[in-house]
């Protein structure tokens, strides 16, 4: 704004230019001195302007004369006339002074650090470590009355449309004693965040905001690392720059950390409109990945989170430091939430969702620029770094086979090797990935991720395979008829997996539906079908149309036995190789009558009806009382 001073100050008088520099020096001393010298500067500027005008221009008729005209003494000089420029100059200088004072006195968020990641990371990491060493950064659940509030970290790049509202809404619903500071990490935004919020937020709002300005674009992951390490609270909360927390959102997160200081606690995330900031009506709690490391929201009606979304969560400073923060070798974004989630669970922590904490998030925004697909490739490199460190050999092969593009990517192109990540894994004595699978076996089951457990069911009489067809059982429904076709081990429609403690039989194509018998009102020759899996009912033991019975050994159905069931599930099946159907109000029958035999006389059975091949259609009919190969199937491993 100082450049708005008339150019003549600098071009016609060097003293004023030096005076201007002197003014900047004085501004650091006192606002009163700054104001005084600004006024003096404006007065001096006006005097020089008037003096210059007097010497430069004179009026005679319709012609202007230079001062050289005065050399001819025989020609009388015309009298100088008052011109409107005097008024304009006064007005201009008045506005200039106002601009100078405004530029100085308008409150601004404090920029606490500025530079590049490589220059700041070690400094801030040491700062975070010192807070733990001196005890001020340690969260003590037994001295909760001394808790002084969270540090909220918001990484931002070109969030001009959203960041001010995010800060305003956060401050509106956050009690001051619960919110110690907001640290904005400005990841080389085209418009500086400090300028944007300085114009739109009040002084009282800006008092709590601190800014880290990165001169080069480092990405979301590295921005979070810097923001967390620069913070001063014992509890760190991460949030995106396009969020609207709801009333009472902080307290439940912190109270949950009291139960386990090695936890990551996530709020319920609700979708909000980018223009109105009102709820859209959808929400998410937890995620689960596929072997290409893409992930989707899902719900299993528990508070345990296998994969956190990554953008919104609370964590203690102790666990942030001890568990390894984020991988600094990951650039931009992508893959960091999978890496952090697996690491947290395998290395002694946990991830929980807190239903009493709600935060709105704008999901539908303009896509980020992605020239030459560089952003996508960087995400894939991040995913490869995660897979190399945390997957076992078998599952890494799944990852490479399904996500084959990663084979050609250099996981250390960021210049950061993986040695430090392996070291964290060793220091924390982290459990193997197989433990993680067993911990979340239902989540892996329901997404068909344990590829070694897919099987073909081959009809003994015909040698044909049980297949999910494209044909609708009832027109206009998604129920697909089950038929028998020539066996093809690569046909996903012939691949079946027994899941959820031997309860459901899931088909791999096209959307992981489950084998279902026809309506109970159709007693004979009802068509078998594939319908949407009833996961919740299966876990609760309250479904019978998809609840199948098995008499057989685990090694026929699984590569890995079901040794991971929780206490309730294990109490149902004990050491028996049979799972019984839900009949009436009894979750399991103990009479041994209703069962499925694998590689035996009856392969499938439900409520005393068995599956058979009728003109290459899979139908259910009364089970035979004698040995009958038309009801028998062989089970063949595929992978």
Q: How far apart are CA 157 and CA 218, in angstroms?
A: 10
- Give 66's pLDDT tier (boundaries 50, 70, 90): very low
Across residues 406-411, what is the average pLDDT?
88
Query: Would you state the pLDDT for residue 494?
Result: 95
Q: 611 or 345: which carries more pLDDT confidence?
A: 345
231 part of a folded domain: yes
Q: Are residues 612 and 546 part of one domain?
A: yes
Average pLDDT of the residues in 441-465? 88
Same domain flag for 77 and 179? no
Report the Cα–Cα distance between both ends of the chain, in Å, rounded: 70
User: Which of 364, 388, 423 is the last residue before a domain boundary?
Assistant: 364
pLDDT tens digits along 303-342: 899 999 888 999 999 999 999 999 999 988 889 999 999 9
* Closest C-alpha among 250, 160, 152 to residue 209: 152
Residue 328 pLDDT: 93
Q: How confident is the model at residue 1 (pLDDT cuts 50, 70, 90)?
A: very low
Residues 560 and 480 in one domain: yes
Cβ-count burial 539-577 (b if 16+ within 10 Å, e if not): bebebbbbbbbbbbeeebbbeeebebbeeebeeebeeee
Mean pLDDT of 418-431: 95
Question: How sure is the predictor about 50, in pLDDT bands with cuts at 50, 70 and 90?
Answer: low
Question: Residue 579 — very low, low, confident or very high, per pLDDT cuts 50/70/90?
Answer: very low
516-574 pLDDT per residue, tens: 877 766 657 778 889 998 887 777 766 677 877 654 555 566 666 555 444 444 444 33
Give yes or no: residues 308 and 254 share one domain. Answer: yes
* Predicted local distance difference test score (pLDDT) of residue 270: 93
Say which CATH number the domain at 579 has: 2.80.10.50
Position 403 in a domain: no
Residue ending a domain, among 333, 364, 395, is 364
Whether the CB-CB separation of 487 and 465 falls below 8 Å is answered with: yes
Quote the CA–CA distance of 243 and 278 in Å, as a whole number: 11
Question: Tens digit of pLDDT for each residue in 24-40?
Answer: 545 445 556 656 666 67
Contacts of 2 (CB under 8 A, 6+ apart): 20, 99, 100, 103
Domain range for 12 is 2-105
Rounded mean pLDDT, 60-86: 45
Specify the number of domains making up the chain. 3
pLDDT score of 58: 43
Distances from the Cα of 471 to the Cαs of 227, 467, 475, 512, 610, in angstroms? 55, 11, 9, 16, 22
Q: What mean pLDDT, rounded, does the chain reach?
A: 78
pLDDT at position 374, please?
Answer: 66
Report the pLDDT value the prediction gives residue 147, as an integer from 0 to 100: 86
Do both 572 and 547 map to the same domain? yes
Amino acid 521: pLDDT: 63
State the CB neighbour count (10 A cutoff) for residue 377: 17
Name the residue among 409, 408, 404, 401 with its Cα closest to residue 382: 409
- Whether 99 and 248 share a structural domain: no
182: domain CATH number is: 3.90.550.10
pLDDT cut 90: percent of the chain above it: 40
204 with 224, same domain? yes
Are residues 87 and 208 both part of a single domain? Answer: no
Confidence of residue 606 (pLDDT cuts 50, 70, 90): very low
What pLDDT sits at residue 87? 52
- Report the pLDDT value the prediction gives residue 38, as an integer from 0 to 100: 62
pLDDT at 198: 86
Task: Please give the share of the chain, as a percent, with pLDDT higher than 70.
Answer: 70
Which one of 364, 387, 404 terminates a domain?
Answer: 364
467 and 359 in a single domain? The answer is: no
pLDDT band at 346 (very low <50, low <70, confident <90, very high): very high
| pLDDT at res. 299 | 77
Residue 378 counted as domain residue: no
| pLDDT given for residue 183 in this prediction | 96
Model confidence pLDDT, tens digit, residues 224-262: 999 999 999 999 999 999 999 999 999 999 999 999 999
Q: 141 and 284, same structural domain?
A: yes
Residues 75 and 126 in one domain: no
514 in the same domain as 464: yes
């Amino acid at each position: 704004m100082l450049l708005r001073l008339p150019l003549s100050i600098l071009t016609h008088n060097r003293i004023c230019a030096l005076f201007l520099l002197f003014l900047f020096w004085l501004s650091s001393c006192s606002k009163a001195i700054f104001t005084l010298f600004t006024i003096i500067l404006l007065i001096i500027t006006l005097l020089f302007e008037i003096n210059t005008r007097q010497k430069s221009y004179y009026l005679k008729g319709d012609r202007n004369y230079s001062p050289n005209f005065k050399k001819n003494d025989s020609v009388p000089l015309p009298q100088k006339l008052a011109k409107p420029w005097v008024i304009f100059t006064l007005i201009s200088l008045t506005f200039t002074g106002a601009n100078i004072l405004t530029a100085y006195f308008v409150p601004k968020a404090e920029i606490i650090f500025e530079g590049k990641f490589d220059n700041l990371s070690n400094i801030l990491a040491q700062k975070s470590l010192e807070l733990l060493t001196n005890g001020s950064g340690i969260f003590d659940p037994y001295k909760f009355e001394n808790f002084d509030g969270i540090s909220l970290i918001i990484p931002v790049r070109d969030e001009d449309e959203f960041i001010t509202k995010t800060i305003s809404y956060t401050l509106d619903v956050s009690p001051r004693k619960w919110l110690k500071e907001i640290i904005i990490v400005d990841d080389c935004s085209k418009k500086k965040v400090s300028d944007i919020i300085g114009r739109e937020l009040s002084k009282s709002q800006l008092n709590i905001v601190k800014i880290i300005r990165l001169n080069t674009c480092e990405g979301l992951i590295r921005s979070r690392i810097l923001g967390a390490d620069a913070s001063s609270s014992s509890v760190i909360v991460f949030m995106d720059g396009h969020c609207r927390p709801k009333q009472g959102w902080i307290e439940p997160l912190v109270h949950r950390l009291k139960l386990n200081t090695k936890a990551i606690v996530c709020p319920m995330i609700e979708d909000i409109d980018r223009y109105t900031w009102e709820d859209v009506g959808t929400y998410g709690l937890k995620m689960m990945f596929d072997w290409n490391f893409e992930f989707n929201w899902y719900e299993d009606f528990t508070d345990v989170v296998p994969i956190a979304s990554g953008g919104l969560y609370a964590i203690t400073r102790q666990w942030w430091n001890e568990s390894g923060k984020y991988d600094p070798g990951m650039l931009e974004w992508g893959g960091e939430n999978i890496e952090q989630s697996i690491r947290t669970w395998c290395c002694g922590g946990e991830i929980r969702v807190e239903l009493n904490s709600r935060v709105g998030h704008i999901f539908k925004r303009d896509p980020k620029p992605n020239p030459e697909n560089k952003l996508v490739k960087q995400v894939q490199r991040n995913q490869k770094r995660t897979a190399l460190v945390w997957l076992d050999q078998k599952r890494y092969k799944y990852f490479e086979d399904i996500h084959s593009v990663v084979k050609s990517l250099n996981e250390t192109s960021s210049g950061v090797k993986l040695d430090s990540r392996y070291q964290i894994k060793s220091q924390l004595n982290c459990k193997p990935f197989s433990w993680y699978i067993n911990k979340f076996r239902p989540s892996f089951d329901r997404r068909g991720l344990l590829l070694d457990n897919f099987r073909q069911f081959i009809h003994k009489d015909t040698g044909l395979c049980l297949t999910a067809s494209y044909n609708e059982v009832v027109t206009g429904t998604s129920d697909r008829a089950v038929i028998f076709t020539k066996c093809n081990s690569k046909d996903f429609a012939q691949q079946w997996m027994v899941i959820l403690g031997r309860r459901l039989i899931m088909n791999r194509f096209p959307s992981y539906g489950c084998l279902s018998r026809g309506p109970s009102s159709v007693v004979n020759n009802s068509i078998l079908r594939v319908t949407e899996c009833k996961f919740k009912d299966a876990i609760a033991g309250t479904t019978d149309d998809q609840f199948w019975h098995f008499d057989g050994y685990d090694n026929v159905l699984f590569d890995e036995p079901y040794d991971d069931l929780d206490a309730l599930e294990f109490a149902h099946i004990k050491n028996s190789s049979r799972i019984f159907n839900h009949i009436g109000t009894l979750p399991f029958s103990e009479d041994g009558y209703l069962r499925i035999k694998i590689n035996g006389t009856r392969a499938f059975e439900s409520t005393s009806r068995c599956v058979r091949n009728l003109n290459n259609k899979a139908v259910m009919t009364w089970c035979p009382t004698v040995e009958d190969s038309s009801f028998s199937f062989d089970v063949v491993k595929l992978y």
